[in-house]
Amino acid sequence: MHHEHRGAGSRTVTVFVFPGVRLLDVTGPVEVFTTANEFGGRYRVEIVSQDGAEVITSAGTRLGADLSVDDLTEPSDILVIPGGPEWETVIKDDALLDVVRRLSDQANCTASVCTGAFLLAAAGLLDRRRATTHWRHTRELALRFPSVRVDPDAIFVRDGRMMTSAGVTAGIDLSLALVEDHHGAEVARAVAKDMVVFMQRPGGQSQFSVRSLAPHTRQEMLRGVLDAVAENPGANHTLSAMARRAGVSVRHMTRLFHEEVGTTPARYVEDIRLEAAQAMLETGDDPMSVVARRTGFGSSESLRRAFVRRLGVTPGAYRTSFRTTGVGAKDPASARVSS
């Protein structure tokens, strides 16, 4: 079954599946791209297996394929390589690795999910590139493939036309970033809201991503500044520090933010820090002082003031609202956090 948007300007997303693939590594990206079509996206999604046959996922679920590798008639705009718990066996399959190389050579962008990074590395596609994978396996990736520059903290990494993502739901973050690149931040945010992605993040995930807020900009220098804020919200991101990092004047940096981002530098930094704090509260049990320090608010009181001012709830009330699905919630504040 094809999930598609036909017509000029549409992009083809090819998801390669194999026996033992993790189901969510496949369905997460598929949901992002197909949901994007509801908000103006233009994606045609194909599920491809080596021989065109269905595969049995690691969950025991049968997953049908639209095409075999040999049936592909045109290059893919995006190739998605999911992972699976039996990746150690999969990377010894030379025929499968040949298929991965062949598909990647024909794709504009190759993106792995979770342990799919091991398939890319074993195929030689990550040599001398930055990459990441599930936090539980980053050390193993670095040891097995020393030519790969492993970033253990990132939710996803883009290096040239190769993208790799961390564990489980990080494939959703990566896919949202691609939707933003193609169709803008508004469409990506609409997809994220529709999928309620923060509610789906597992509690054990130590990283968090705020890249969905980072707007597309034509200015490479400014993009570097925006990425630095998103990747480490707790660092020093005063206006003067950002200007120094970019090698421009404070006045020029302020003007760039106004023209390219549509807000002030201070507001942008607070937006990023606020989402980072929300993610930590949704998925972890760190004390408020730790959340405040790691996300750049400094103190619990500063964190509390920002939450009350921007969200209308305290950080404690926000955390409580994400401990359940909200069924039977009596606190009226919980109705406001999703708005």
What b/e readout covers 18-57, taking b as 16+ CB neighbours within 10 angstroms? bbbbbbbbbbbbbbbbbbbbebebbbbbbbbbbeeeebeb
Sequence-ordered list of residues with C-beta below 8 angstroms from that of 325, at least 6 positions apart, any chain: 199
Structure tokens at 168: 């489980």
Nearest residue to 234 via CA among 312, 316, 299, 318: 299
DSSP, collapsed to helix, strand or coil, labels residue 258 as helix
User: Cβ(120)–Cβ(164) under 8 Å?
Assistant: yes
- Give the residue carrying structure tokens 């305290």: 314
Here the tokens at position 176 are: 């949202």
- Beta-carbon contacts of 111 under 8 Å, excluding residues fewer than 6 positions away, are 29, 78, 79, 80, 81, 162, 163, 164, 165, 171, 174, 175, 178
Bridge partners (DSSP) of residue 67 are: 48
Residue with tokens 């990494």: 157
Q: Which helix (H) or strand (E) holds 265?
A: helix 265-283
Catalytic-residue membership of 114: yes
Residue from 24, 26, 91, 114 carrying the catalytic annotation: 114
Calpha distance 105→180 (Å, rounded): 24
Give the residue from 149, 153, 164 showing the smallest Cα distance to 116.
164
CB 200 within 8 A of CB 216: no
CA atoms within 13 A on the CB side of 14: 28
Residue 160, token pair as written in the block: 């040239």
So which residues are the catalytic ones? 114
